A and B are shown apart, each in its own frame.
Chain A
Amino acid sequence: MSQVDPLLSNQTKNQAEGRHPRPSATLRARQDQAARRAFFIFTLLPVLLILFITVALFFRSWPIISEYGLSDLLFGQVWKPNKGLFGFWPFILGTVWVTVVGVVLAVPLCILASIYLAEYAHTKTRSFAKPILDLLAAIPPVVYGVWGLLAIVPFVDDVLAPLSTRWLGSISIFSVNQPTGFNILSAGIVLAVMIAPLIISVMYEIFSTVLNDLRHASLAVGATQWQTIRNVVLPQVGPGILAAIVLGASRALGETIAVLMVVGNIPQIPTSIFDSAYPLPALIANNYGEMMSIPLYDAALLSAALVLLVVILIFNILSIIVLQRMTRKK
């Protein structure tokens, strides 16, 4: 920014004659215009990047989609790249199972914890909880994986699996058919902890959009705090809570390394949370090395990434639009 004398004379004359001042008349205004255009180009980057990623993956996976058709790929049961069989169905189901278990474990805890932080907690508790959530969010996925491997897998194997055989063995989704702790439940527990900070902070923000007057009105007529939350606060934030859950689910869908380390990686159609599974991201990460050696293998793996991307984009866009609307109302 150079200190240029503003050449204002032109502008003032125009104003005196009642005409609209022409901004291009001054160097500073011209710089401003130029900067506006330059900055605008920068903001195109994030918008274009989303399109570009989608198009690039689509372009690369087109060979296999055009040869097999999308439904054969998605619903094919057999994965044998050597024989030209590319069925994603076991992997898609694996992803869904792991995500659902993770979300089911995380959501009740997150709702309760975020209500507590937003409605009950002292400022002191809040300023203590914030760094804890930040640290949880900062821990890299691979460290979560190591933790899962060292703590969760043995815990599931030694404690939860025997408990489940004893009490819940007759229900098929809790039956224990495999001897190790490398299963969907372990991955779900690890995922639940990984997505918790995100869900809690989004929900906390949602709760703080509710006007305090409404709370005060309810408390003033004698409702307890929980009654106020249940009857006044929660009905207002329903869509936001749902959006936070969907956002958490989309994080869980794409989690790679941490899940890969604890889920067992056996391509099968799981029937119980104690079964091993093989989610899509793990498939991509485990096989990147051989990608170029078998025909269509790279296209198959990149189309797996495309499937993942499309689902996550839909989840993300919907939930973010809901959240933007809700926070803007404030």
Chain B
Amino acid sequence: MSLFTKKHWQRRHVMEAFMKFIMRVSLAIVAGALGLILWIIIVRGLPSLSWDMVSKIPEGGYYMGKEGGILNAIIGSAYLATGGTLLAMLFSIPIALYLKTYLGDSKWGQYVRLSLDVLWGIPSIVYGAFGFTLMIALGMRASLLAGIIILAFIELPIMTRAMDEVIRRMPIDLEHAALALGSTKLEVALRVVIRQMLPGITTAILLGFGRGIGDAASVLFTAGYTDRIPTSLMRPTASLPLAVFFQLGSPYPEVQQRGYAAALILTIIVLAVSLGSRWLSARLNKYTVK
């Protein structure tokens, strides 16, 4: 009967219980939002998901509800995100290594981290507009290459910071041990740090890929849209987010339905990448020194 003793009716204890309750409710609302989103996308997307959707390119009259699929957008998005991630990787690995081994918490290191965080916060529509100005300056048309370059810019800060966060947890003793044996910082970076960074690199790659494949606003300006699968870097290309967006804008219900199905495909890819990165980094973490 302790629940009814006087102490539990003191204001502060009631307050404690009340705050704890509304905190749990808020967390449940946030978690519930994820469930709701997935539920809606699956329920509305599944009925029009078919093998044709993922294996055919749009045929004549596709945008009026006739035969075809969005293979062009799936392949286009895969090209864009893979290219962007590879290009961003070329720059993000050296930057992350340099931040760890040479810069540490120095002034310049702080500036570089600050600028990466700021870049992370710049919205993709601004990257898209910037890409547009670049394309005018270089006389380029909307193309796969332009899309890849802009996605690489978008993914660079995400990937670098992801690697940086992981590698920061490396024990300093490991670096000291290598330095004490007479290795230069470069050797520490290339032989010790990069191995410790492996789980960070895989997380970063998958994180960057997931961001790249879902980004619509930047690709709108730079990669264009086409019904064909791109055969060269200079051709425009379709992408999944824009396939969703354009099909939803159609007045034909069949086409809208396919837009929902395309959204489901995109969601499945992104969730698979996100879950895959958790699983992979947990596995690779076994092989690092902690």
Contact = CB atoms under 8 A, between A and B. Distances in A.
Interface stretch (B47-55, B60-68, B115-123, B230-238): B115-123
B286 interface: no
B123 A146 contact: no
Interface string A154-179: 00000000000000000000000000
Contacts of A136: 30, 33-34
Most buried by B among A59, A138, A247, A291: A138
Interface of B is mostly: helix
Contacts of A68: none
Interface string B100-126: 001101001011111111110111111
A142 B245 contact: yes
Do most interface residues of chain A lie in helix, strand or loop, or is the interface mixed? helix
A256 B216 contact: yes
A120 B220 CA distance: 44
A274 interface: no
A135 B97 contact: no
A316 B118 contact: yes
B215 to A, nearest CB: 7
Interface string A262-300: 000000000000000000010011001001000000000
B12 interface: yes
A215 interface: no
A74 interface: no
A147 B42 CA distance: 10
Interface residues of B, number: 92
Contacts of B140: none
A281 B210 CA distance: 22
B266 to A, nearest CB: 6
Contacts of A53: 122, 126-127, 130
Nearest to A247: B121
A214 interface: no
Nearest to B160: A46
A87 interface: no
B177 interface: no
Contact of B26 (A112, A291, A302): A112
A43 B99 contact: yes
A136 B245 CA distance: 20
A118 B112 CA distance: 29
Contacts of A143: 37, 41, 214, 244, 263, 266-267, 270
Interface string B11-43: 011011001101111110111011011001100
Contact of B267 (A139, A197, A317): A139
B79 interface: no
Given A43-B98, A257-B241, A193 B190 contact: no
Given A39-B98, A302-B129, A321-B114, 12 more contacts: A50-B119, A56-B133, A110-B30, A133-B30, A138-B210, A141-B216, A142-B244, A143-B214, A150-B260, A151-B40, A193-B37, A284-B129
Interface of A: 1, 6, 28-29, 31-32, 35-36, 38-40, 42-43, 45-47, 49-50, 53, 56-57, 59-60, 108-110, 112-113, 115-117, 120, 129, 131-136, 138-147, 149-151, 193, 196-197, 200, 224-227, 247, 250-251, 253-257, 261, 281, 284-285, 288, 291, 301-302, 305, 308-309, 312-313, 315-317, 320-321, 324, 328
9 contacts: A45-B91, A131-B275, A135-B271, A143-B267, A224-B15, A288-B221, A302-B132, A308-B126, A320-B118
Interface of B: 12-13, 15-16, 19-20, 22-27, 29-31, 33-34, 36-37, 40-41, 44, 91, 94-95, 97-99, 102-103, 105, 108, 110-119, 121-130, 132-134, 136-137, 153, 156-157, 160, 182, 184-187, 189-191, 210, 213-217, 220-221, 241, 244-245, 248, 259-260, 263, 266-267, 270-271, 273-275, 278
